[in-house]
Amino acid sequence: MIKCTNCIGDRLFNSKNSKYCYDATNLEDCCYITNSDFIKDSYDVNFFIKSERCYEGLSLPNSYNTFFSIVCWDNRDVYYSDHCFDSSNLFGCIGMRKSSYCVLNKQYKPEEYNQLLEKIIGHMKSTGEWGEFFPVKLSPFGYNESTAPDYFPLTKEEAVKGGFRWAGRTSGLFGKETITWDRIPQQIDKVDDSIVKEILICEKCKKNFRILLQELNFYRKIRIPLPRHCPDCRHGERLAKRNPRKLWPRKCQCAGEKSENSVYQNTAKHSHGNNSCTNEFETSYSPDRKEIVYCESCYNSEIV
């Protein structure tokens, strides 16, 4: 976390008063936000930019007061809607543009809309449906087709038990490779342009993939060999280098003059002197990892 005040999470920048947020910048008074920028007073949202007062949504850029919605851009006062743009006062709408005061894509007068909204919300509260995102049974995708396993891997049994669908067929092409790796030079400057016409095979999952000419030129420019893993496997490998979106409560491992395992010798005097630091915090480094984890104060004493 860089330039953050009163924040809990990981990979957060320029943010304040935000808890359990990951991969986000410029947050203020937020909770459970991921992959977002310039967000205020919002909760449980993923992929949004320059939005305020949003709750439970996916991809809600430039939105205000937007709730339980998915891919709704440049809106205000929108509930339970999907793919609606430049609109306001929508409930349960899909595919609307420049619209307002609509329920289930039907236009109402503002006073009718407000009465209807009150009635629908009242009914949903009585059935317990109000206040939650669309139920998973409405998802057209299997759990294993979504990006959820990148962060929360589940077995098929666990996913089905949790009410998710599971796609029976893995996407992608298999067994159609036109060349094998033993015929491809390891040195990039020996690889011919004709490689872009070939179908390659991933050494890890056996899925077929191709190399684009621009990609080939990039590898030549930075002088690295062709990737032997498919784009999906490479994506997984990049994610594995990051800490998980999970926090563990831990105690500072500074023992005064050195780390408690004696591996690191402190270079500066800390505010707690030669006694062990007693600060506790949450961190994305799990207790079984080998890295030494210091509290912010001890860390800053060493590096600032």
Please give the residue ranges that form the binding site for Zn ion (CB under 5 A): 202, 204-205, 207, 230, 233, 252, 254, 270, 277, 279, 295, 298
For residue 10, the minimal CB distance to Zn ion (Å) is: 19
Q: How far is the CB of 298 from Zn ion (least distance, A)?
A: 3
Comparing CB distances to Zn ion, the nearer of 107 and 274 is 274
Question: Would you say 136 or 268 has its CB closer to Zn ion?
Answer: 268
Separation between Cα atoms, residue 282 and residue 145, nearest integer Å? 31
Q: Which residues contact 139 (CB under 8 A, 6 or more apart)?
A: 146, 164, 165
**Closer residue to Zn ion, CB minimum distance, 214 or 271:** 271
Shortest distance in whole angstroms from residue 213 CB to Zn ion: 21
Closest CB 211 distance from Zn ion, rounded Å: 14
Strands 100-103 and 106-107: antiparallel
Shortest Cβ 293–Zn ion spacing (Å)? 9
Please say which residue, 121 or 233, places its beta carbon nearer to Zn ion: 233
**Side chain identity at 275, as an amino acid letter?**
N
Q: Is there a contact between 177 and 200 (Cβ–Cβ < 8 Å)?
A: yes
SS3 assignment, position 186 = coil
**Which among 288, 212, 281 is positioned nearest to 243, based on CA atoms?**
288
Virtual torsion, Cα 102, 104, 107, 113, nearest 10 deg: -50
Residue closer to Zn ion (CB basis): 138 or 303: 303
Burial profile 148-164: b = 16 or more Cβ within 10 angstroms, e = fewer: eeeeeebeeeebeeeeb
- CB 192, min distance to Zn ion, A: 24
We find the least distance from the C-beta atom of residue 26 to Zn ion, in angstroms, to be 28
* For Zn ion, the closer CB: 33 or 293: 293
Q: What is the DSSP string of 59-111?
A: S-TT-EEEEEEES-BS-EEEES-BS-BS-EEEES-BS-BS-EEEETTEE--HH
Residue 192 CA, chain-centre distance (Å), reads 37
List of residues 6+ apart from 267 with CB closer than 8 A: 302
* Nearest CB to Zn ion, comparing residues 120 and 295: 295
